[in-house]
Amino acid sequence: MSITKMLVAWLENYDSQQSLGSKLRAKRIAPLLDMIESIFNKHGSVNIIDIGGTESYWGIVPKQFLDDHHVTITIVNLPRLEVKPDHGHFKFVGADACALERFSDQSFHIAHSNSVVEHVGDWERMVQFAKETSRVSQAYFVQTPNYWFPVEPHFMAPFFHWLPKQSRIWLVSHFQLGNRSKAASMDEAERLVESVHLLDRKRFQELFKDAHVLTEWFFCLPKSFIALKKVNA
């Protein structure tokens, strides 16, 4: 098994609650659960928009917790992706994360986003993403990986993101990195490399000026950041 495959199995096997990735996520969302608890105590229910999320992600939260706190989660993804039928705690909507005009101001108690802002495009798109996240919600929880963490989390390759762009294109054209297949063409390689724009703490804080930025640590290294804005914070 290659090093990148070993890293994927260790870090990204979210189907197993015993994997390191699942344990890190469970620890990461503690502030989110506190936020849900606080809003439930005030309103008797909690309405969440999960921007760019998946239903499987919410498996880290016990279903009983969602039941007890009357949580509704609206999962928003690009219209070109398959929109599932609503069921249980979940609603599904096709929309651009940077253009959420179908939702009115503060129509959700909480906006949640996990490892999405680095995928929306250039800086202007990131600014628009941050504005829309803040606009549609009363509070938010936004996570992103740290540019200065040595292992690139999408390609699971040490130092990959610090290499020149042409070097990264060459690597994805010649090797399977993480759970991503080797690019079949130069166009695909270019798009793969351009699909991720990691942020450092300063740029992330600039996007979410009204939030408190928490740091997620891994072996004494800052692995990712969470922009946390609480109601009436």
Which of 21-35, 88-102, 149-163 comes out lowest in average pLDDT? Answer: 21-35
Q: Give me the pLDDT at residue 92, please.
A: 96
pLDDT digits (tens, 9 = 90+) for 189-228: 999 999 999 999 999 999 999 999 999 999 999 999 999 9
pLDDT at 21 over 90: no
Report pLDDT for 151: 94
pLDDT confidence of residue 86: 92
Mean pLDDT (the chain, rounded): 91
**Res 12: pLDDT:** 58
What values do phi and psi take at 104, rounded to 5?
-80, 170
- Cβ neighbors of 184 (< 8 A, separation 6 or more) are none
Max Cα distance, the chain (Å): 54
| Structure confidence at residue 2 (pLDDT) | 54
- Residue 84's pLDDT is 85
Average confidence (pLDDT) over 19-44: 84
Give the residue, 222 or 232, on which the prediction is more confident: 222
Q: Quick one: average pLDDT of 32-58?
A: 96
Q: Would the pLDDT of 233 be above 80? A: no
Residues contacting 162, CB < 8 A, separation 6+: none
Q: Is the pLDDT of residue 125 over 70?
A: yes
Residues 3 and 11: beta-carbon distance below 8 Å: no
Q: Are 214 and 225 in contact (CB under 8 A)?
A: yes
Check pLDDT > 70 for residue 18.
no
25-39 in b/e form (b: 16+ CB < 10 A) is: beebbeebbebbebb
217, 180, 133, 24: CA torsion to nearest 10: -30
pLDDT value for 179: 82
pLDDT digits (tens, 9 = 90+) for 77-121: 998 777 788 999 999 999 999 999 999 999 999 999 999 999 999
* pLDDT above 90 as % of the chain: 81
